[in-house]
Amino acid sequence: MSEINVKVGENQRSFPAPVSIAEVLKSFDRDLPKKSIVAKVNGAEVDLSYTLDETDEVLSIEPILPESLDGLQVIRHSTAHLMAAAVLDLFPGTQLGVGPALMEDPRYGFYYDVIAPRHLTEADLPVIEKKMRAMAKQNLPYRREVLAKADLIKMFSDRREPLKCELINEKADATATAYYIDNTPFVDFCLGPHVPHSGKLKAFKLLTLSGAYWKGDAENQQMQRIYGTAFAAQEELDAWVKQREEAEKRDHRRLGKELDLFSIQDEYGQGFIFWHPKGGAIRTDMENYLREELQKRGYGMVFTPHIAKRQLWQTSGHEENYADSLFEPMKMPAKFGEETEFRLRPMNCPFHIGIYKSHPRSYRELPIRYAELGTVYRAELSGTLHGLMRVRGFTQDDAHIFCTPEQVETEAGDCVDFAYDVFNTFGFEKFKVELSVRGGADNKGYLGSDEDWANAENALVNALNKRAIAYERIEGEAAFYGPKIDIKVEDSIGRLWQLSTVQFDFNLPERFELEFTGEDGQKHRPIMVHRALFGSVERFFGVLIEHYAGAFPFWLAPVQVTVLPITDRINDYAEAVTKELKQAGFRVEANLKSDKIGAKIRDAQLNKVPFMIVLGDKELEENVIAVRERKAGDIGQMSLEEFKKMAQQLKETRAIGFSREVGGVVGVWGLEVV
RNA sequence: GCUGGUGUAGCAUAAUUGGCUAAUGCACCCGAUUUGUAAUCGGACGAUUGGGGGUUCAAGUCCCUCCUCCAGCACCA
């Protein structure tokens, strides 16, 4: 009889072949097969029922517990199958698409795409979930079977599942694996591995129903996608649900309304932002910071119109390439007899090019950097609009750099540094950097020579590497006119939004025939770099609101200080203090209502005002103020001068947190990032 | 745009199977109160129940239609 040598951890044992993983694990630890859900054999995941055949090799076996990340993925994948089984049971004739586990997306744990005989509605979800629970309780085996490709296709063809047949045709080798859940109508074309039986699935929840195109292509039919999530234990699921509810409280749309920062009004149009004074105060500070930096970094501030002749957008190629994002052309009133058509701008680039082209350029002038807070308008589909994040009219902190090929790497690097300064200043610690390059068959549909692309990518890669920035290289994500670096930040519930971008452009310099005279007296074509740091001021603000949950650092807070007299005997003093702080340049309000101090404090706390100045008879008598910080609470009395000095420092340094000596003890407190 | 859902004072919620004057809290306003670190009391005001159409003796509630918003898909120069 032949033997198999197996290692689990450091221990090695021999077994007569063939032997199942479960049996092997059992011999090492009686409870191990029960605790595990799958196992790794030499690093490859397999079911516990997997049979080991004779081999000379020493096999290393690692049990995968539900508590591990690998285990969670299996649980979610198996739960997706369980859901499909429930749907098939409740709605015979349902066609299945794909149903993966989701590990990266904090919103969901898995989905399955289906086409049921009738359209499912939200009311069906609890019914499906109930069925799943009933099935889970029955400890139904997940059974793997290896079949010839043709047999598998025949099986799904008999089951009237053409979508599965299509997948098998595309993905399967000569043989393929099928997974059954016994005693249910379910069978799937799937690599696995899966839990040994449905009883391992203890904590799951169906979340939402939505549309999804077959294979992610809008040309294909739309299926229904059921999202759910699953965890190893109920407590983890409960915690996740709770955390999600918390996250929803910092939704910028909700806080925008509660804190009176901005609004979007149907009567004026979807996707158009009204910045209220409090949002406007923050925007002003954001812009002021930016302008200071632009000045320091050698950008020229320019201002250009929001519309231009239609012809311009034909020259630029926007009509050709982005027709779907452009608002329709407009004209002068007919009675004026002018036939010229105009378009609202979707981008600022052609205008900055206009300034570049306003006179001949010399190499001595380069690099030329034009910056503008340029408002643009795009015809975004209604279904894409989302608060401040995706709108139809927005302002880019746009800039265009015209430079020589030799200068390009430095310029790109400076842009990356600038972006990092912005992110640091606003307190973002977590963001994702992507390098988007060409991709697809023969790199079709991209403008510019292979050499251009290689040089540009090099410049971007070098800029990132020199700064030891970790990034993901994504093929096929580049703009058709050049490669780019994008920086994305998560919102409160984990959706990623692109903010900064640094893009090469091989298109516009050609189309607009940009030139400069070189040292050699010859005409040369400059390289053009587009770059935005906030990306869109609106979107950046949206992410910022969620990042701080509305509790902005002092320098950004729309109301920085609120003065709270305890009785109306103190109102005059309160007004004097308010006036003085206003004169010193702070955004201050006084609450002179005849409420109790507790109520006034509550009001200020709910409005997330960084500092409250509480004034009573004592303060009036001693000519001091009592200061309360929104997070630290009462920090004691000080002179108004002392407070002003501290506030001034917070403002000037654009601090997002700070420490201060209180009563002889140095305590760290303050405006911390929530 | 597509799939599903949703819409009641500024905000958050309520309103038996279709049934009386659409209710409550907060906010706003008025009055009383003069208070020491997260809600003082009382009063008044505020709604063509998203728009339009229909069914019915009767519609916030049922049906049709348009619109908004939400989740997702696709899109995102």
CATH code assigned at A45: 3.10.20.30
Summary count for chain A: helices (H), strands (E): 20, 36
A398 classed as catalytic:
yes
Same domain, A164 and A21: no
A631-651: average pLDDT? 93
Catalytic residue (one of A484, A539, A600, A608): A484
The separation, in Å, between residue A210 CA and nucleotide B5 C1' comes to 9
Question: Residue A74 contacts by C-beta under 8 Å, 6 or more apart in sequence?
Answer: A37, A38, A45, A64, A66, A101, A193, A194, A195
Domain assignment of residue A308, yes or no: no
Domain assignment of residue A337, yes or no: no
Q: How many CA atoms, within 13 angstroms, populate the side-chain half-sphere of residue A357? A: 14
Of the residues A547, A570, A588, which one is the last residue of a structural domain? A547
Residue A669 above 70 pLDDT?
no
A354-373: average pLDDT? 96
Could you give the number of structural domains in chain A? 4
The number of residues making up chain A comes to: 674
Same domain, A383 and A436: yes
Same domain, A217 and A358: no
User: Is strand B within 7 Å of residue A206 (CB)?
Assistant: no
Domain assignment of residue A580, yes or no: yes
Of the residues A523, A547, A571, which one is the last residue of a structural domain? A547
Same domain, A612 and A485: no
Label residue A665 by pLDDT band (50, 70, 90).
Answer: very low
pLDDT tens string A18-32: 878 888 777 777 787
Same domain, A372 and A238: no
pLDDT at site A1: 57
A272-279: average pLDDT? 95
Domain assignment of residue A114, yes or no: yes
**Element spanning A511, H or E:** helix A508-511
A615-640: average pLDDT? 94
Domain assignment of residue A99, yes or no: yes
**Closest-lying nucleotide for A313 based on CA to C1':** B77
Range in A40-44, A213-217, A298-302, A375-379 with the lowest mean pLDDT: A40-44
Label residue A78 by pLDDT band (50, 70, 90).
Answer: very high
User: Is strand B within 7 Å of residue A92 (CB)?
Assistant: no
The separation, in Å, between residue A592 CA and nucleotide B33 C1' comes to 14
User: Is strand B within 7 Å of residue A257 (CB)?
Assistant: yes
Rg over CA atoms, chain A: 31
**Closest-lying nucleotide for A479 based on CA to C1':** B77
User: Is strand B within 7 Å of residue A479 (CB)?
Assistant: yes
A348-361: average pLDDT? 96
Same domain, A418 and A514: yes
A277-296 helix and A537-548 helix, angle to the nearest 10 degrees: 110
Same domain, A588 and A648: yes
Q: Longest Cα pair distance anywhere in chain A, in angstroms?
A: 100
Q: Give the count of beta carbons closer than 10 Å to the beta carbon of residue A636.
A: 10
pLDDT tens string A523-539: 999 999 999 999 999 99
Label residue A12 by pLDDT band (50, 70, 90).
Answer: confident
Domain assignment of residue A331, yes or no: no
User: Is strand B within 7 Å of residue A569 (CB)?
Assistant: yes
Same domain, A398 and A453: yes
β-strand pairing of A3-8 with A58-64:
parallel
The separation, in Å, between residue A261 CA and nucleotide B64 C1' comes to 39
Place of tokens 């390439």: A321
Domain that holds residue A39: 3-64
Same domain, A426 and A503: yes
A396 classed as catalytic:
yes
Same domain, A140 and A217: yes
CATH code assigned at A480: 3.30.930.10
Euclidean distance between CA atoms A345 and A392, whole angstroms: 11
Residue A667 above 70 pLDDT?
no
**Closest-lying nucleotide for A617 based on CA to C1':** B36
